[in-house]
Amino acid sequence: MKTKAELLTAVDQIPTFEFKEVALAPVGSMSPSKSGGDTWTQVPVAEARAITEEGKNRPLTFVSGRYQLIQFKPAFEQIITEHSDCSGNLYYNEGFAVLDTFPQGEDYLLPNGQQIGISAYNSVNKTSALIIRFSVTDGGRVFTLPKNISSYYRAHVGQAAEQQKEYIQMLGRIKDMWITAVNDMSKTPITIDNWDTYAKQLTTNPRIMKAIKLEVAAGSNYNLWSLAMRIYDEMQKGFAKSDIHKRKRIDSFIESLTVWGTIFKIGGN
């Protein structure tokens, strides 16, 4: 993981975004095969704008004229500087980013050596507003709690640090819940007889599940928690277009863990 200083440096390298005006033209009218004498009609679209990285023309998304663009840098910098010291990860790809921050201190440690922190998701393409969620790190793995079962906030850029403080106040409750869930999962054995009950509900690569099923059939010992960690590790080693794409896949897998009924029942907004 990156240090606090390294996180701030990485955030500073995220592109700045800008609006571009949008216009329409007939399909094929701008083809290189057109001669210089051909003309085409440009039709402005007043109610729409494109968002691009600053200085580039490739649209990341199209939005209405009223859309409020939140730049990543000030939002993420507020979250990082809220802590006296922290470590974490930053992932960015084409207008979507995830920032993991794990503050230092006894308040954030779990008895088994795991550490609780906060993950912030932001995008300019409207797939995610600025959302802050709880995460737990375990041996380099980052388990981000699904937003539908844990409290989360859609934060405006000026409110990110303030709402993060509310999260910190909930840490005791989250820690107790996480310890209970992991203990319950660790006490639930996985056998070839109950394999289908759990495996069919998981969002992951069928190839991974097939390989682990063969191990279980051969007598390898797994429980729900060790199975979850094994699947995570296999997904982490797999190919993905970018680190962001891999993170999204892992988040989907973690979200599918909730169908077991042993993870996190927390009220929230």
Is 33 inside a domain boundary? no
Amino acid occupying residue 120: A
Query: Quick one: 6 and 125 in the same domain?
Result: yes
Is 195 inside a domain boundary? yes
CA–chain centroid gap for 79, Å, is: 15
pLDDT more than 70, % of the chain: 80
Cβ proximity of 50 and 61 under 8 Å? yes
Measured CA to CA, the distance from residue 101 to residue 168 in angstroms comes to 12
Tell which wins on pLDDT, 130 or 2. 2
Query: Quick one: 8 and 75 in the same domain?
Result: yes
Is 61 inside a domain boundary? yes
Measured CA to CA, the distance from residue 129 to residue 233 in angstroms comes to 28
Query: Quick one: 62 and 118 in the same domain?
Result: no
Tell which wins on pLDDT, 234 or 75. 234
Query: Quick one: 8 and 111 in the same domain?
Result: yes
Query: Quick one: 112 and 6 in the same domain?
Result: yes
Reported as a single tens digit per residue, the pLDDT across 51-108 is 999 999 999 999 888 888 888 998 899 889 988 899 999 999 989 999 999 999 888 8
Query: Quick one: 83 and 64 in the same domain?
Result: no
Burial 36-68 (b: 16+ CB within 10 A, else e): eeeeeeeeeeeeebbbbbeeeeeebbebeeeee
Query: Quick one: 129 and 206 in the same domain?
Result: no
Query: Quick one: 48 and 129 in the same domain?
Result: no
Residue 247 pLDDT level (bands cut at 50, 70, 90): very high
Is 35 inside a domain boundary? no
Q: What is residue 248's predicted lDDT score, i.e. its pLDDT?
A: 92
Q: What is residue 208's predicted lDDT score, i.e. its pLDDT?
A: 94
User: Is pLDDT above 60 for 262?
Assistant: no
Residue 162 tokens, joined: 């303030």
Total domains in the chain come to 3
Is 96 inside a domain boundary? yes
E strand or H helix at 228: helix 224-237
* Concatenated DSSP letters of 117-175: EEEEEEESSSS--SEEEEEEEETTEEEEPPTTTS--EE--GGGHHHHHHHHHHTHHHHH
Is 109 inside a domain boundary? yes
- H helices, E strands: number in the chain: 8, 12
How far lies 252's CA from each of 169, 181, 268, in Å?
27, 18, 20
46: containing domain: 17-21+42-69
Query: Quick one: 151 and 84 in the same domain?
Result: yes
Is 80 inside a domain boundary? yes
Cβ proximity of 28 and 44 under 8 Å? no
Residue 41 tokens, joined: 């009609």
Query: Quick one: 151 and 59 in the same domain?
Result: no
Query: Quick one: 6 and 120 in the same domain?
Result: yes
Tell which wins on pLDDT, 58 or 268. 58
Query: Quick one: 7 and 124 in the same domain?
Result: yes
